[in-house]
């Protein structure tokens, strides 16, 4: 398995990133530990979470995923085996949101405490905050980097013009530069990233770590019809994919699966890995069995015919 460099200054990461959004949401601590053990045990090292995961679950307040990962670090002693990414900026209630300097400096301490670590490898702005000057946000990150609490920074859910502006300001003012970009990108959701964000990522050498890599499970082959998705955690999101284009994509995935013997999830991730600027697609698993399809992706090299079939079927 070939590794890739995390940003201009970052360490080597395995080319699939484990999404921690399910920890404390769909699965409890014990189940999460099993996933983490299996993922790292298979030689992978890149894990993504956020302070807001999983505030949306009734009874949760945010921080549940970070806390479970922190418990796993304490239990396993494998903090040094992991490239850890978390995020700041989403609404945690009680005014806890945004990218103001004062809030970032408070939020990082909360994340470090929950994660039971003294540093974060990749600290990401979870979403843009137009009410805070970009210089203020980057200066806060600079302080954290100087203190050794953060290694490098990344951006998530940014529009292309604001991402470009943030990078240009950072370079001009000698402030930390975003090294990674976390956008929505998969075989179905292609247009915005490829048209607007990918050119910026190429120009500035950003490593792209796309979320919803499997389109909320649609690209795994788990759902064959709209009815199959009833009761799914993201039913509202999955239903939208069942249009003519979505069905073409499923047909192409079926055909490539028959040709390769790989699962549709593995194929979908392998297609992403073959695209320019992609560092590591993010995918979640709620069972060790599901995890097998994710960790198989870097070993699957899709031939030109298969890549073209998938790209054509998903064209927009």
Residue 244 included in any domain:
no
Asked if the structure places residue 258 within a domain, the reply is no
Angle between the N-to-C axes of helices 288-295 and 264-273, in degrees from 0 to 180, rounded to the nearest 10 = 40
In the chain the first and final C-alpha atoms are separated, in Å, by 32
Residue 10, phi-psi category: left (phi > 0), alpha (psi -120 to 50), beta (remainder): beta
- Is residue 311 situated within a structural domain? no
The tens digit of pLDDT for each residue in 214-231 reads: 999 999 988 877 766 666
Return per-residue pLDDT of the chain as tens, 316 residues. 888 888 777 789 999 999 999 999 999 999 999 999 999 999 999 999 999 999 999 999 999 999 999 999 999 999 999 999 999 999 999 999 999 999 999 999 999 999 999 999 999 999 999 999 999 999 999 999 999 999 999 999 999 999 999 999 999 999 999 999 999 999 999 999 999 999 999 999 999 999 999 999 999 988 877 766 666 666 678 889 999 999 999 999 999 999 999 999 999 999 999 999 999 999 999 999 999 999 999 999 999 999 999 999 999 9
Give the burial string for 254-276 (b: 16+ CB within 10 Å, else e). Answer: eebbeebebbbbbbbbbbbbbbe
| Assigned domain for 239 exists | no
| Contact predicate 268/253, CB 8 Å | yes
Q: What is the pTM of this model?
A: 0.95
Q: What are phi and psi of 17, to 5 degrees?
A: -110, 130
Domain coverage including residue 95: 4-225+264-300
How many angstroms separate the Cα of 282 from the Cα of each of 94, 131, 253, 256?
Answer: 29, 29, 19, 21
Q: Note whether residue 30 is domain-resident.
A: yes
* Calpha distance 187→272 (Å, rounded): 8
Does 283 fall in a domain? yes
Classified as helix, coil or strand, 310 is: helix
CATH code of 24's domain: 3.20.20.100
Overall number of domains in the chain:
1
Q: Is residue 9 part of a domain?
A: yes
Q: At what angle do helices 160-173 and 134-146 cross, to 10 degrees?
A: 60
Q: Give the total residue count for the chain.
A: 316
Q: How far is CA 117 from CA 6, 101, 137, 170, in A?
A: 20, 21, 23, 27
**pLDDT score at 128:** 98
Q: Are strands 12-13 and 4-5 parallel, antiparallel or unpaired?
A: antiparallel
Cα Rg for the chain, rounded, in angstroms? 19
> Given the DSSP bridges, would you call strands 17-19 and 282-283 parallel, antiparallel or unpaired?
parallel
187's tokens: 């075989």
Residues with catalytic annotation? 53
282 belongs to a structural domain = yes
Task: Say if residue 218 is exposed, middle or buried (CB neighbours under 10 Å; 0-12, 13-18, 19+).
Answer: buried
Could you please report the per-residue DSSP string of 195-220?
IIIHHHHHHHTPEE--BSTTGGGGGG
Residue with tokens 């670090």: 73
Please give the C-alpha separations between residue 238 and each of 95, 187, 229, 265, 309, in angstroms, as whole numbers. 32, 14, 7, 15, 22
């Amino acid at each position: 398995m070939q590794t890739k460099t995390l940003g201009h200054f970052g360490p080597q990461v395995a080319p699939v990133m484990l999404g921690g959004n399910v920890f404390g949401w769909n699965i409890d601590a014990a189940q999460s530990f099993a996933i983490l053990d299996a993922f790292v045990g298979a030689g992978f090292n890149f894990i993504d979470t956020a302070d807001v995961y999983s505030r949306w679950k009734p009874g949760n307040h945010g921080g549940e995923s970070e806390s479970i990962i922190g418990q796993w670090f304490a239990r396993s002693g494998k903090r040094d085996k992991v490239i850890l990414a978390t995020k700041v900026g989403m609404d945690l209630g009680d005014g806890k949101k945004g990218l103001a300097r004062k809030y970032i400096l408070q939020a990082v301490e909360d994340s470090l405490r929950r994660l039971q670590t003294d540093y974060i490898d990749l600290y990401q702005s979870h979403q843009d905050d137009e009410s805070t000057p970009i210089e203020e946000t980057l200066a806060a990150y600079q302080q954290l980097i100087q203190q050794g609490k953060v290694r490098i920074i990344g951006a998530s859910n940014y529009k292309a013009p604001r991402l470009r502006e943030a990078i240009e300001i950072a370079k001009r003012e000698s402030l930390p530069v975003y090294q990674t970009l976390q956008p929505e990108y998969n075989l179905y959701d292609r247009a915005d990233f490829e048209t607007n964000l990918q050119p910026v990522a190429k120009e500035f050498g950003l490593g792209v770590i796309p979320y919803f890599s499997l389109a909320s499970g649609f690209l795994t082959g788990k759902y064959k019809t709209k009815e199959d998705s009833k009761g799914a955690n993201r039913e509202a999101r999955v239903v939208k994919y069942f249009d003519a284009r979505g069905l073409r994509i499923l047909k192409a995935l079926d055909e490539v699966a028959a040709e390769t013997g790989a699962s549709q999830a593995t194929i979908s991730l392998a297609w992403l890995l073959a695209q320019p600027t992609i560092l590591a697609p993010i995918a979640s698993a709620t069972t060790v069995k599901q995890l097998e399809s994710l960790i198989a992706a870097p070993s699957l090299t899709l031939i030109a015919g298969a890549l073209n079939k998938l790209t054509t079927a998903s064209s927009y």
